[in-house]
Amino acid sequence: MSARHAGFTLLELLVVIALMAVAMGLLGLGIGQGLQAARERQAVRDLVIALRQTRTHAVLSGAPALLRFDMAERWYQAPGHVRQPLSATMGVQLSVAQQWGSAFAFFPDGGSSGGHVVLARGDRRWRIDVAWLTGGVRWQVVP
């Protein structure tokens, strides 16, 4: 075997390195998008949990309880809990009964003031519905 055929040329090594750099870039982009999607789902889950906790608080305490929102400052707060920030990367649309301001009211009988919240980022949207009669909280992905 001659010395000329014993290894790789510099051009071959550069092509392999360039392909690896492209592959790593695509992998990093995919991981970043996956992490962002996970943060979005967690923000939706956290809000659903806060709504359900507020309903439970009203039923157990025997008194109305409010989950308050401040859309200008971008936070919400359940009774007895610290303020939770609304995701800075997501749009928020709140539809609640006017008499309660920017809040969902839950009552001792399990009912609520009703309404919904829509969280959106890009083409992804989640809708959280609060039933007025039962106070049940459901969420779904909106096409």
| Tens digits of residue pLDDT in 112-124 | 999 999 999 989 9
Q: Which residue range forms the structural domain that includes residue 125?
A: 9-142
First to last CA, the chain: 64
Tens of pLDDT, residue by residue over 21-31, are 888 877 777 77
CATH code assigned at 76: 3.55.40.10
Question: 122: which DSSP letter?
Answer: T
Looking at the domain assignment, is residue 122 inside a domain?
yes
Looking at the domain assignment, is residue 116 inside a domain?
yes
Looking at the domain assignment, is residue 31 inside a domain?
yes
Looking at the domain assignment, is residue 1 inside a domain?
no
Looking at the domain assignment, is residue 44 inside a domain?
yes
Query: How many domains would you assign to the chain?
Result: 1
Q: Which helix or strand (DSSP H or E) is residue 138 part of?
A: strand 137-142
Looking at the domain assignment, is residue 60 inside a domain?
yes
Looking at the domain assignment, is residue 40 inside a domain?
yes
Tens of pLDDT, residue by residue over 33-92, are 778 888 889 999 999 999 999 999 999 999 999 999 999 999 999 999 999 999 888 999
